[in-house]
Chains A and B, each alone.
Chain A
Amino acid sequence: MQNAITLRRRRELITAGVLVALLIVLPLPFHDPYTRNLMILTLLYAALAQSWNILGGTCGQISLGHSLYFGVGAYVSTLLFVWHGVPPWFGMLAAAAVAGLLALLVGWPCFRLSGHYYAIATVVVQEIAYLLFLNWDDIGGASGVYVPFHGQSWLNLQFRTAKLPYFYVMLGFFALTWIAAWWIEGSRWGFSWRAVKDDVIAARSLGVRVFPSKMAAAAISGGLTGIGGAIFAQFVGYIDPDSILSGPLSILIALPAVLGGVGTLWGPLLGAAVLIPLRELSSTFLGSSGSGVDLMLYGALIMVVALWRPQGLVSLFQRGRNGSAS
């Protein structure tokens, strides 16, 4: 039994290695920035969904306010960069620390709530943060923050028009979140968190400390999401509360994991690979008509996938194998 699990986990690691190798060469034949931009966004949302999955999937706490950690991470690293010239690589660490701490701070009161009460509380906390940032003039308020361009450099993670470096940074970020998820799955933590997700009372009787489990999952999930925000700010060059700390973004962070497969290792990537290109392409090629068709398509896709494959798209690849990751 133990052997079978070890074998499966090793196989997953090898699959991941092969996939990363494929992803490294994937953007090379495509030279136009639009396609590369699409790939970068897909990886970004895959990584964010993977981070969300640690709390939402593995631990079963449906957070609908994750843009809070993304936005705060973006602000922390950007302000460090703009005010003090701190390179974003260090900014990312600070972003992870602040976002992780914030997740603990939010989790402390909210984890006492159950089910939908918890979900709505996360929305409300994020909304409060959004309103405060919008009215906080010292950090730009509604005007947002411009990231000044200091010339092409890896240290500052700034490139005039090149997209490839961002792709590899994003790939690295995705690999980081995947490894974190993979490691957690095999660790004692993963066991405890899944127990919390499946049945809180049974988990308690097994000696799982429920509250600390949720807190640890939240801190890791929030911290990773914060790193994503820091990279994104450098990539876009302009941040404001509306675009990085909003309710719709929170949903978009969770959506790839839900559609791809909640609590699975490959669900977030698969979900993002389907959802993000479809969303971007439909808004580019149908949205310019202004008729709302793109929104209808996007909404219909979510409904259809959620109903047709409630265990996620990843289940399409698991026929004959009963061992889904959760």
Chain B
Amino acid sequence: MKRLGLLATAAALALSVVPAFAADDVIIGVIYPLTGNSAPVGLDAKVAYDVTAEIINGTHAPLPMLMGKGGGLDKLGGAKIKLVYADSQNDPQKARAEAERLITQEHAVAVLGAYTSATAATISQVTDRYEIPFVNADSTSPSLSQRGLKWYFRTTPHDEMFSQAMFKFFADEGAKTGHKVTKIALFHEDSLFGTDSSNVQLKLAADAKIDVVADVKYRANSPSLSAEAQKLKAADPDAILPSSYTSDAILIMKAMHEIGYTPKAVMAQAAGFQESGFLAGVGPLSEGVFSRSSFALDAVKSRPAIEPVNALYKAKNNKDLNDNTSRQVTGLVVLADAINRAGSTKAEAIRTALIATNVPGNQTIMPWAGVKFDENGQNIEGTPVIQQVSGGTYHTVWPADVATQPAVWNVGK
């Protein structure tokens, strides 16, 4: 790591001799699903990125975070970040073609994306072949960072890290409150996200000696989930661990309620459960639901930048930052910082700077320990939190240093 740091400094020095083009726009390609089933997430992402670019480029009172002082990239003569968006339609083929277009035609110096893991998979292949950095802000399939790609950097924790946090939370709670979780039920959709997530959870449950009393794999976007709810009810676990997108998250909560089943606890793999559409769609049924999160909106004490950034975002999109949009803000901030430190828009220099990234958590809006990439480009300091719905919004209940409320068990029983 030290050697890489030296390398980065050397690269930065070498490049600082040759002054960069003064104040030329730095173009970053951004690929998200903007039409189709996943469009709501992509459209929110677009607002989040626009707001972040304004923060980096604009003239405003300095915000207490990385790249928060405004005025563009100072080491590039105050060059501005310019974002060019592309619609992946949640189609891997389309995502690949758009990545190529952004790199070759729009001359993007780096690519950001991509929400769904299947599109991140093809984008990362393109960026590796064109040797352009790809900062993946929010796709969580563990396999993405296990393919030995050279130009792939993932700021978000992946599903294995998230699930580890869940099981650690169960253990901590058991020790602290005596509320033990000894049998769980998995509930996951039949997609890449759902199967990856449940496979990890099966493994971790075996390690923690927790019984998996039901493993319900369901068809995404089904007309009805009542048979699935039946299976969960019959298994009656201490906690249900769902991995679902918004539509099915709404449906399963309703379906369980309809058959008179109030689960002892629901511990969601975020995704749909963290969307505002879910909270509005199921209303009071969401009360007491746990979800892992990479974001804690209420951690304003330890992360002073949350409030001002959220205010800017809310002014544009009329909702608070959530698990997805916060990670997108962070993805762009980390990338912009790397380009700035590189002092150049050369791909190799940006990559070197990304490798040398070492941002402490309190310089971001995330409750993470920080941002620091391992040799696979995975951020190893992205430590997740556990949140719980009370009063219609999520509050952080774990870990203790960022928690704002204690966890409550058996809500509604």
* A interface residues (Cβ-Cβ under 8 A, vs B): 32-34, 37, 41, 131, 134-135, 137, 141-144, 146, 149, 160-161, 236-238, 240, 242-243, 280, 283-284, 287-290, 292, 294-295
Contact = CB atoms under 8 A, between A and B. Distances in A.
23 contacts: A32-B101, A32-B104, A34-B105, A37-B97, A135-B190, A135-B217, A142-B192, A143-B192, A146-B121, A149-B125, A161-B130, A236-B93, A236-B96, A237-B122, A238-B118, A243-B91, A283-B89, A287-B35, A288-B85, A288-B86, A290-B34, A290-B42, A295-B35
Contact of A143 (B39, B100, B195): B195
B98 A33 contact: no
Question: Taking chain A's interface residues, is the majority helix, strand, or loop, or is none over half, making it mixed?
Answer: helix
Nearest to B106: A34
Contacts, number: 98
B46 interface: yes
Nearest to B118: A240
Contact of B191 (A37, A142, A288): A142
Main secondary structure of the interface of B (DSSP, over half): helix
A290 B43 contact: yes
Contacts of A287: 34-35, 87, 89
Nearest to B217: A135
A33 B130 CA distance: 11
A129 to B, nearest CB: 14
Contacts of B91: 243
Contacts of B87: 283-284, 287-288, 290, 294
B192 A131 contact: no
In this complex, the member of A33, A288, A289 whose beta carbon has the largest number of chain B beta carbons within 10 angstroms is: A288
Interface residues of B, number: 38
Contacts of B104: 32-34
B35 A290 contact: yes
A295 B36 CA distance: 10
B118 A289 contact: no
Given A131-B219, A290-B34, A143 B143 contact: yes
B284 to A, nearest CB: 31
A157 to B, nearest CB: 15
Contacts of A141: 190, 195
B319 interface: no
B194 interface: yes
B129 interface: yes
Interface string B174-202: 00000000000000001110111000000
